[in-house]
Amino acid sequence: MRYLMLIRSDPATAPTAGPDPALAEDMGRLIEEMTKAGVLLDTAGLRPIEEATRIRLADGATTILDGPFTEAREVIGGYCLVQTRTREEAVEWGSRFLRLHGPEWTMEVEIRQLDQP
């Protein structure tokens, strides 16, 4: 089964200095472990919300909105696409990712199974 993990955070609560080098090293080790386990299909961080564009459909009309978005209290900062045997296994990988960050971060990972074609 394939799962998409959406990594959400609140920019107002993120450490102002960003991730420290130790976190980047820990993340690299986790990604390497996931790759060796054959679980990781793809992963990436996303550019800042200030560079985003939203396309909104309302009442049959589309509107294009360029960032920054002042109401953005929670943003998707990255994603991870995994293939696991069970939902529980995907949850464990997502939990391990979050635990790397430590108490100074407030984040969540939303895990959604992809529809099979």
List pLDDT tens digits, range 47-71.
Answer: 988 888 999 999 999 999 998 876 6
> How many separate domains does the chain show?
1
Is residue 53 one of the residues assigned to a domain? no
In a domain, 77, yes or no: yes
Range of the domain at 69: 2-46+63-113
Grade residue 10 by pLDDT with cuts at 50, 70 and 90. confident
The string of pLDDT tens digits covering residues 79-104 is: 999 999 999 999 999 999 999 988 88
- Cis link prior to 117 (omega < 30° from 0)? no
User: Does residue 20 form part of some domain?
Assistant: yes
Residue 95 phi/psi, 5-degree rounding, is -65, -40
CATH number of the domain bearing residue 92 = 3.30.70.1060
Assess contact for 98 and 107: CB atoms under 8 A: yes
- Say which residues have a Cβ less than 8 Å from residue 67's Cβ, sequence separation at least 6: 48, 49, 50, 51, 52, 53, 54
